[in-house]
Amino acid sequence: MLPVRMFFALSILLFSQIGFTVTVPDDETLLQSLLEQAKDFDELKPEREQREASIHIARSLLLSHYRKQDIDKSLSDKVYDNYLSSLDPQKLYFLASDIEEFEPYRYRLHGALKTGQLEPGFKIYNRYQERYIESLTKKIAFIEDHFDSLNFDLDEYILADRKDQPWAKSQQELDDVWRKRIKSAALSLKLAGKTVEEAKDTLLKRYRNQLKRSLQARSEDAFQAYMNAFTTVYDPHTTYFSPRTSENFNINMSLSLEGIGAVLQSENEFTKVVRLVTGGPAETQSTLKAADRIVGVAQGVDGEMVNVIGWRLDEVVDLIRGPKKSVVRLEVIPAEATLDTDTKTLKIVRDKVKLEDQAASKSVLELERNGAKKTVGVISIPTFYADFSAMQSGDPNYKSTTRDVVKLLKELQEETELDGLVIDLRGNGGGSLDEANQLTGLFIEKGPTVQIRGANDRVETMTDPDPQLVYGGPLIVLVDRLSASASEIFAGAIQDYGRGIIMGSQTFGKGTVQSVRPLNHGQLKITQAKFYRISGASTQHKGVIPDIVIPETVDRKKVGEDSLEHALTWDAIEAAAYTNQNAVSPFTQQLITRHQQRFEQDPEYKLLLEEIGLLEEQRKKKKVTLNKTKRMLEDEAFEAAQLNIVNKRRKLEGKEPFKDIEAWEEYLEAEANKGSTEPEPDFVVKEGAEVLLDLIELQTQVAAKSAA
């Protein structure tokens, strides 16, 4: 017979996906049951299969990983710090005395990992569980007994980030940190319009759910946490998947096919949004953004919010997934939030993301230059896709990025006389390497497109498979921080060939290749190769640096390969044999000068800089007040500044300004409910077209002088 706590957990996970209501005991009865269980929580112990898997993982990393790194004392030091940081990143649970007790492990883990001795990892995890459960029971007791006496008139502050703080020397010191965190969460709820009783009830449910989840921890949780502290010191994309997680390995595919359309990853105790799938429900229906962290999931419009802090990624995915047209609500910490107690709730109607919703699309810009009408085509590519099942079944009309772009180019060329072409790769997180190779081939006659170096140092070069030049005219490629992997390969090749201008912001920098290896227990996703541009420069870590830089609002400290611990470094190999067409570099500085002169006068660019400045100020905050009046004034000032920027944009568009923040939020919700609409070309696309016309003008002037 299942233990009571396990039965309720399984019921909630299963029925949440099909919309049934689960009958559970009342909150007080369940809470008392949880508190009783917390007193008798058993320590977790390693299993034989896990010991064997540890040995296999160590051997695979040592022999097959791209990064040549011995499993020695130096690596033990990194694993130790990585493990503590992954379990307690904000130093909220462990005491200095715990760390002192663990310190002898710092230079001993390497031998234990190679021989399947998992006791050190389990001992640390069990202590973490003990401290975590103890803190939750204390928080629950504090809220029940002292919540009403919280004084929001005092001049107290809470640190926005504690990761660089020393470990607490006493339990009393940690208790005071937690008192302030509870106070901060309560203040956020009060300012959001909750009554004292509602705020108290919300926090009790939040901590009760966390306690319930912590009491369900099993041996596999400890093993997976420990192994990933080991694997990720090789690089952040090398990951151990438990047998349960292996079933959900393709998280991106699972969510994008029927769910919210978001790529998620675990980041310490949180579930972080990596990027949104173009055309997916999250992108079209909500304000969910990259680097937001999901802390709660609720079913339907009024289902209870289940706190998912500390949950495994596969468990969070199970809650988010569900039938098409059903509603899921997410409680998220916005990327721009100063504190992890500041959250907002988003409603998303689950749906299936169809291939055509992510397909390349076209539009046309009409501009005037020196009294003459100019036409620039725009092709937006959300991802590098290919319908492999249709291809394998012999369907002659199967969809792929390259085939669709060829079709769109022909349509543009038939509809009008193109002066230039903009390829928009902003937000394109990559996809099929073969498609990136073939797409590059549309814009060059022949030659290499990308180099791939394996762990054995052997270099493979991919080349243009088709000598046909589909488009040889003026070209600009737009990129941003979320352009990654295949996008970087394409943009890098266009830049190296001097075939076109790259404009936007520095790209993500994901230049590694992973493969999945089965283990006796679970799977290992391991980095085995690295991408290099034809110039020899890696796309890893640095990504692609645009010829013309346009700043953006994304926080580079939170999004991008260089924001990840232990990411492989940038380096270079020998260049491939190719010919730079030199069509852009002679004019780059003049193009930058003209662009800057235009942008200095562009009101939309000024608003972009204003918005970036506002977000940067918010990110710089080291501490946040717990005084109600001061916090309210700070929040109101930030919201007023946001609304001011929004209304300035609306004025530029000839629209009525919003009278207050509530009117803006109501508008956003109404727009989200409408679903996907064809977006208008933004000012960056329009500026791209202007830069293209500058290039054509400069090239024409040089040609005229040469002819004379």
Higher pLDDT, 23 or 172: 172
- Name the least confident of 34-38, 107-111, 472-476: 34-38
Instruction: Report in angstroms the alpha-carbon separations of 397 from 150, 356, 387, 418.
Output: 66, 13, 10, 26
Q: Is the pLDDT of residue 50 over 90?
A: yes
Distance CA 306, CA 300 (A): 12
Structural domains in the chain, CATH included, are: 41-234 (no CATH), 238-353 (2.30.42.10), 358-511+529-580 (3.90.226.10), 621-674 (no CATH)
Q: Is the pLDDT of residue 224 over 90?
A: yes
Q: Tell whether pTM > 0.95.
A: no
User: Which residues are part of the catalytic machinery?
Assistant: 485, 496, 510
Pairing assessment for the beta strands 623-625 and 270-276 based on DSSP bridges? unpaired
Q: Is the pLDDT of residue 25 over 60?
A: no
Q: Is the pLDDT of residue 255 over 70?
A: no
Torsion 257-263-265-270 (CA) sign: negative
- Name the least confident of 190-199, 368-377, 391-400, 585-594: 391-400
Q: How confident is the model at residue 706 (pLDDT cuts 50, 70, 90)?
A: confident
Residue 485's φ and ψ, nearest 5 degrees, are 55, -110
Q: At what angle do helices 73-87 and 219-231 cross, to 10 degrees?
A: 130
pLDDT > 90 in the chain, percent: 61
Q: How confident is the model at residue 673 (pLDDT cuts 50, 70, 90)?
A: low
Tokens of 186: 């309560």
Q: How confident is the model at residue 12 (pLDDT cuts 50, 70, 90)?
A: very low
Q: At what angle do helices 219-231 and 119-146 cross, to 10 degrees?
A: 110
**Mean pLDDT to the nearest integer, 487-499:** 97
One-letter amino acid of 574: E
Q: Is the pLDDT of residue 338 over 90?
A: no
**Mean pLDDT to the nearest integer, 495-518:** 95
One-letter amino acid of 308: V
Instruction: Note the pLDDT of residue 79.
Output: 97
**Mean pLDDT to the nearest integer, 74-99:** 96
- Name the least confident of 36-45, 59-68, 116-125, 508-517: 36-45
Q: What is the average pLDDT value for the chain, to the nearest integer?
A: 87
Q: How confident is the model at residue 187 (pLDDT cuts 50, 70, 90)?
A: very high
Instruction: Note the pLDDT of residue 4.
Output: 30
What are the pLDDT digits (tens) for 294-326? 988 989 888 888 888 877 777 888 888 888 888
CB 490 within 8 A of CB 425: yes
Instruction: Note the pLDDT of residue 587.
Output: 93
Q: Is the pLDDT of residue 41 over 80?
A: no
Pairing assessment for the beta strands 523-532 and 448-454 based on DSSP bridges? antiparallel
CB 64 within 8 A of CB 525: no
Residue 437 C-beta-side C-alpha neighbours within 13 Å:
16
Q: Is the pLDDT of residue 33 over 70?
A: no
Tokens of 453: 């170096």
Q: How confident is the model at residue 11 (pLDDT cuts 50, 70, 90)?
A: very low
Distance CA 343, CA 326 (A): 23
